[in-house]
């Protein structure tokens, strides 16, 4: 797996921290309604930083399993960004005009960022652990053959 530079690692960490702060602040935004106007953007920026830097970390080895897992991580990244966009839409309702009536919008799109985030988190959790396991297995196989 290609190592990230210190700057990329810092951006990756910053993205993860912004995601957590944004999601937690948004979830507890009922305490102060004005904070939700800004935390959704923190979440989206964190998602984009995290996803872009993770996509930049490429695997150059021969394992087809790890290549498949990296593709699954790219899908998780897409779901992370969709969750951020959906969270911003929950606050600002910019997608409201795409639906014929408000009830349809509420049913199918409003506040669905949680679903996108859940899918992304499950995919990310699975792929992270499997990639780690496969890399250890690959290193052990390389060490035994030498």
CB burial readout 103-139, b (16+ within 10 A) else e: eebeeebbebbeebbebbeebbeebeebbeebeeebe
pLDDT at 140 over 90: no
- Residue-wise pLDDT for 27-83, tens only, equals 887 677 788 889 999 999 999 999 999 999 999 988 999 999 999 999 999 999 999
- Answering whether pTM is above 0.85, one says yes
Q: How far is CA 143 from CA 23, 54, 55, 136, 146, in A?
A: 42, 27, 28, 10, 5
| Domain boundaries defined on the chain | 6-144
Average pLDDT of the residues of the chain: 92
Q: Cα–Cα distance between 110 and 61 in angstroms, integer?
A: 42
Token pair for 8: 């990329």
Closest CA to 39 of 13, 21, 51: 21
Per-residue pLDDT, 146 = 60
Per-residue pLDDT, 144 = 66
């Amino acid at each position: 797996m290609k190592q990230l530079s210190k700057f990329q690692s810092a951006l990756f960490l910053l993205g993860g921290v912004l995601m957590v702060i944004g999601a937690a602040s948004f979830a507890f935004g009922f305490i102060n309604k004005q904070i939700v106007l800004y935390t959704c953007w923190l979440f989206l920026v964190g998602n984009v930083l995290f996803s872009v830097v993770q996509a930049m970390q490429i695997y150059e080895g021969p394992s087809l399993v790890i290549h498949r897992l990296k593709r699954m991580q790219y899908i998780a990244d897409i779901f992370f960004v969709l969750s951020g966009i959906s969270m911003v839409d929950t606050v600002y309702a910019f997608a409201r005009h795409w639906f014929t009536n408000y009830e349809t919008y509420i049913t199918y799109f409003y506040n669905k960022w949680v679903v996108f985030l859940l899918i992304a988190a499950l995919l990310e959790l699975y792929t992270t652990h499997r990639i780690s396991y496969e890399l250890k297995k690959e290193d052990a196989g390389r060490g035994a053959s030498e």
